[in-house]
Amino acid sequence: MADVTISSLNTGIPTRNSVFPFSDGSATYKTFFSSISSIFFYPVDYLVVGGGGGGGQDYGGCGGAGGYLEGTTTLMVNQRYEVVVGKGGLKESSQDFCTNGQDSYFGNILAFGGGAGGPKRATSASGSSGGSGGGGYYTGYRGGLGVTGQGNDGAPGLPSGSPGSAVGGGGGGAGGIGSSSVGGIGKFSSITGTNLMYASGGTHRGNVGSTVTPDPRLNSGVGGDAAYGSWLVAANGSSGIVVIAYPGTPRGTAYTSAGTIISPNTISRPGFTIHTFTSSGYYLS
């Protein structure tokens, strides 16, 4: 039997170039690894908005908008991504203070809930901080702070004798700070195929008597308006929203927290699949 020369065998770990013998800069190399990567990962557009803060009573401050985040991220195939859609904060009543909106998140992308307006019943009536800050109570209390990159500060309340009369401060919005009694502007997104504004701050509506101020549009992350008159006339903050979209046909499945499938939208934005969460759930990529 012939001798075998062990030293002639390659017992080392194969290098990339020994398996794919072309240079790092070649078009062939880039094309190959791009195609392999697309099997395991794919990019998605996302919109994550926190719940808006609740509005204050009487000369109370207005609710701040929920935090606003929009961009692109990469998902791994066959992974579960948790989704939380934050509820809107509650308006002030004769028994309860107004509250911050709840946080929303998709995977590790977190949008903070908006700050509550400065309430009439509190000893310290400054606006609360959040994604955007709530406005302050009318006697000059400061507005809450917004989170950099997600929202803006609420306005301080106007004290008695101020131009425009005494009134609670406007809530901060994703696109601008609150100013006197007017809420900060939100931001527009067309991720769903329809251009809509999200995350604007609450505004003070003045004396509305016993007429309840309408709550803002659901799943918009808008802060609740403040008002004075009978108790409960202010507005709750709006719930948040989570949306993901990507080119082509459905690659993953969205579920409610109870496990019910959320039907994908392949119509409103031609060439894209859209998964919209209006309540908490999860996404299997």
What's the rounded Cα separation, in Å, for the pair 128 and 136? Answer: 8
**pLDDT score, position 221:** 98
Other Cβ atoms within 10 Å of 210 Cβ, number: 9
pLDDT at residue 155 is higher than 50: yes
- Cα 170 to chain centroid distance, Å, stands at 20
Do the Cβ atoms of 191 and 170 come closer than 8 Å?
A: no
Task: Give residue 208's identity as a one-letter amino acid code.
Answer: V
Give pLDDT tens digits for 101-130.
999 999 999 999 999 999 987 767 899 999
pLDDT at residue 13 is higher than 90: no
Total-model pTM: 0.86
Domain positions in the chain are 43-285
**pLDDT score, position 21:** 41
**pLDDT score, position 188:** 98
**pLDDT score, position 95:** 81
